[in-house]
């Protein structure tokens, strides 16, 4: 088995399903996890799936991804719009990075338009809900495979 795809989720995503379903959809984080695992396993990868409400913990996990991930999928949630610490940690990953957002952040409040993650991502998927995670994991697996060959 190659190194796993890390799928890291930021604050409030533990409330998926109950949280503003008109924006984020009905899927729970457990549903998202199951979809990511299914997609990755079909492509020969395992998944390390985590969620935190704490910025420092997210930074720790990004550093861990630098050491032991084949690629990183990250929904930084609100920290994507605010966190220079996350940006600095992502700079050191050295593996494919795919940023994902369930909602289309470009269609929402102006304060969601900036991202400290996007300049460091290989690609960004926004507005496709649960399907966006599947696409992000697929892209991460393909990029990881390309870079290891």
Closest CA to 74 of 49, 108, 41, 107: 49
CA 85 to CA 74: how far, in whole Å? Answer: 15
- What are the start-end ranges of the H helices in the chain? 21-24, 29-42, 55-68, 79-82, 84-91, 129-148
Token pair in block for residue 75: 């929904």
Catalytic pick from 24, 45, 116, 133? 24
Q: Work out how close the CB of 71 gets to ligand DQA at its nearest, in angstroms, rounded to a whole number.
A: 19
Does 117 bind ligand DQA (CB under 6 A)? Our answer is no
Q: Which CB sits closer to ligand DQA, 60 or 111?
A: 111
Contact range with ligand DQA by CB under 6 A, out of 27-35, 58-66, 98-106, 117-125: 98-106
Does 77 bind ligand DQA (CB under 6 A)? Our answer is yes
Q: Is 101 a catalytic residue?
A: yes
**Binding-site member from 33, 50, 112, 145 for ligand DQA (CB under 6 A):** 112
Q: How many residues does the chain have?
A: 149
Does 101 bind ligand DQA (CB under 6 A)? Our answer is yes
Q: Is 45 a catalytic residue?
A: no
Token pair in block for residue 118: 């996007």
CA 19 to CA 4: how far, in whole Å? Answer: 29
Residues that bind ligand DQA (CB under 6 A): 12, 75, 77-78, 101-103, 105, 112
Residues with catalytic annotation? 24, 101
């Amino acid at each position: 088995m190659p190194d796993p795809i890390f799928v890291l989720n930021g604050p409030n995503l533990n409330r998926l399903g109950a949280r503003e379903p008109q924006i984020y959809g009905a899927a729970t984080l457990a549903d998202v996890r199951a979809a990511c695992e299914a997609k990755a396993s079909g492509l020969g990868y395992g998944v390390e799936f985590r969620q935190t409400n704490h910025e420092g913990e997210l930074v720790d996990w990004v550093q861990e991804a630098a050491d032991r991930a084949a690629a990183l999928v990250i929904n930084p949630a609100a920290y994507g719009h605010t966190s220079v610490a996350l940006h600095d940690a992502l700079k050191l990953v050295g593996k494919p990075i795919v940023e994902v957002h369930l909602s289309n952040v470009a269609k929402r409040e102006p304060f969601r338009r900036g991202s400290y993650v996007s300049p460091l991502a290989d690609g960004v998927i926004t507005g496709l809900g649960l399907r966006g995670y599947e696409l992000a994991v697929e892209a991460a697996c393909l990029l990881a495979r390309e870079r290891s060959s």
